[in-house]
Amino acid sequence: MNLQLMYSSELIQARTRELGARISKDFHDLPLVAVCVLKGAAIFFADLVRSLSIETEMDFVRMSSYAGSTSSSGKVTFSKDMEIPIKDKHVLIVEDIVDTGLSVSYLRHVLEARNPLSISICALIDKLERRQVQVKVHYPGFVLQEGFIVGYGLDYAEKYRQLPGIFKLISEK
């Protein structure tokens, strides 16, 4: 596999600070719970919450629909639930990538049943190529038309997460 740089570490950091400022402005003085979707969003989540200038509760969920492949299986596996109650609070789902939309749509449905005041979605990458479910990403880091990407938490079969930038994964022919 070959890697082609898409977004440098410096560009990601600058964009994350912009998102943090916008989220802080939008949720000023409101009860906010930021929910990290593990594992892929962990690096982005850590940088994002540190860029917020508002009080924020943090929690984590773990779910997957890829199972070691480059395409979604269509089945969402939910393996870790939140611990913080979200009733009467605003929720910010933080994803590494919204691709098909299946996982984040499923999570949104699960969380809506818990009566939050609102649910917003922040994704480092809003990828449009394989969207199967219409999902609004309120706070997109970068919009990507197509390509399989890795780095900065994004993986292929648990590899490449440690890369400081985001790279397009190109298979050798």
CB burial string 115-151: b at 16+ within 10 A, e below:
ebeebbbbbbbbbeeeeeeebebebbbbebeeebbbb
Choice among 47, 96, 99, 126 that is catalytic: 99
pLDDT above 60 for 73? no
Residue 104 to residue 126: CA distance in whole angstroms: 11
Question: In this predicted model, which residue has the larger pLDDT, 69 or 92?
Answer: 92
Average pLDDT over the chain, rounded to an integer:
92
Contacts of 10 by beta carbon, 8 Å cutoff, 6+ apart: none
pLDDT above 70 for 68? no
CB-based contact 99:83 (threshold 8 Å): no
- Orientation angle between helical segments 9-26 and 42-51, nearest 10 degrees: 50
Active-site residue flag, 59: no
Domains present along the chain, CATH in parentheses: 10-145 (3.40.50.2020)
Contacts of 64 by beta carbon, 8 Å cutoff, 6+ apart: 76, 77, 79, 103
pLDDT above 80 for 163? yes
pLDDT above 80 for 77? no
Residue 89 to residue 91: CA distance in whole angstroms: 6
Question: In this predicted model, which residue has the larger pLDDT, 145 or 172?
Answer: 145
pLDDT above 90 for 3? yes
Per the structure block, which two tokens stand in for 49? 């919450």
13 sits in which H/E element: helix 9-26
Instruction: Give the CA-trace dihedral at 25, 27, 32, 34, to 10 degrees.
Output: -50
pLDDT above 60 for 118? yes
Residue tagged 């449009």 (tokens): 128
pLDDT above 80 for 93? yes
Residue type, 130: R
Q: pLDDT category, 65, cuts 50, 70, 90?
A: low
pLDDT at res. 76: 74
